[in-house]
Amino acid sequence: MAFLVDKTLEIAYDFAREKFGELINKIQSGKPLTSEEANFLLLFIVLNEVRLRYDELSRQIQLNREMIKETEERLRNEIKATEERLNEKIEETKRDLEKKIELTNKRIDDLREDFNKRFESLEHRVYELEKDVEELKVAVARLDRDVQEVKEDVKEIKSMMNLLLMHLAGIKVEKEK
């Protein structure tokens, strides 16, 4: 769909630019413009503004997509690194426990207490990661809202283009009469 809109805008703009150039040459040669030609000049200015806005919106959409991809990649990397750290810490804890099982009951109790503290620390880290994930979900929701706003702007631009085309069609009908 975006390709069709891009192509339509490009074709309309190329045609309008060519006609605009002809009208500028006519003005420079000192010939008066008809009201239809003057209206066309104004419509070309509007078309140029529509094209600029559409290009800006397209760039913003692309930037938003890139930002989402970067955020997803960063999140994947952070999760992977955290998993590796957690796995390493769990393995380290298991090795420590295996070595210290042979110690006295008091020493075992001390190790259990130490293990519980580490486990709470890991739970806290997991909790922090869950908060980060929630914040990322909020950011994605904001991006979705921004994309929706962009879609609405594109609809508005399409509506303006339709009005422009209807106006141009109206001018052609008046000319034929």
pLDDT tens digits, 10-34: 887 788 889 888 988 998 999 998 9
Write a three-state SS string for 33-79.
CCHHHHHHHHHHHHHHHHHHHHHHHHHHHHHHHHHHHHHHHHHHHHH
Residues in the chain predicted with pLDDT less than 70, given as ranges, are: 1-2, 101-103, 108, 171-177
Question: Which residue shows structure tokens 């259990």?
Answer: 112
Give Cβ neighbours of residue 14 (< 8 Å, ≥ 6 apart): none
Can you give the pLDDT at residue 10? 81
Can you give the pLDDT at residue 64? 96
Q: Determine phi and psi for 34, rounding to 5 degrees.
A: -80, 165
Can you give the pLDDT at residue 111? 72
Can you give the pLDDT at residue 61? 94
Can you give the pLDDT at residue 176? 63
Torsion region of 31: left, alpha or beta (phi above 0 gives left; psi -120 to 50 gives alpha): beta
pTM for this prediction: 0.38
